[in-house]
Amino acid sequence: GESVGLHLPTLSVQEGDNSIINCAYSNSASDYFIWYKQESGKGPQFIIDIRSNMDKRQGQRVTVLLNKTVKHLSLQIAATQPGDSAVYFCAENGNDYKLSFGAGTTVTVRA
């Protein structure tokens, strides 16, 4: 069946360092992937997306990498800041057009 999962439930990172959050998916038919950030008491906030015909996409301080061969997605955050502390979810959009979310990685930024 379909599943979207993250490799690690928690990540602690020093302020100023780069963060890498990983996600594995199993549905090879998925053609669109999204990273969301969820802060306490708020809804998922769109960070960046990537289509399956790309392997890298960059935003402001964030980069998403897609490796379709091993069905792996990662989110890189450059120069992590205290405001980056949140739960990060990867989500995939398969041929049924609904988003399937992973379990989330809690990122804690140490000052």
Residue 97: what are its φ and ψ, rounded to 5°?
70, 5
Residue number, 52 or 76, with CB nearest to other proteins = 52
Whether 78 contacts 15, CB under 8 Å: no
Residue number, 60 or 111, with CB nearest to other proteins = 60
SS3 of residue 14 by DSSP: strand
Give yes or no for residue 22 binding other proteins (CB under 8 A).
no
| Cβ atoms < 10 Å from Cβ of 75 | 27
Give the binding range for other proteins (CB under 8 A) out of 18-26, 27-35, 58-66, 75-83. Answer: 27-35
Give yes or no for residue 27 binding other proteins (CB under 8 A).
no
According to CB under 8 A, which one of 42, 60, 70, 83 is a site residue for other proteins?
A: 42
According to CB under 8 A, which one of 10, 18, 45, 58 is a site residue for other proteins?
A: 45
Identify which of 72, 74, 36 has the alpha carbon closest to the alpha carbon of residue 57.
74
**Which residues 80-99 are close enough to bind other proteins by CB under 8 A?**
89, 91, 93, 96-99
- Give the torsion through C-alpha atoms of 65, 70, 72, 77, to 10 deg: -40
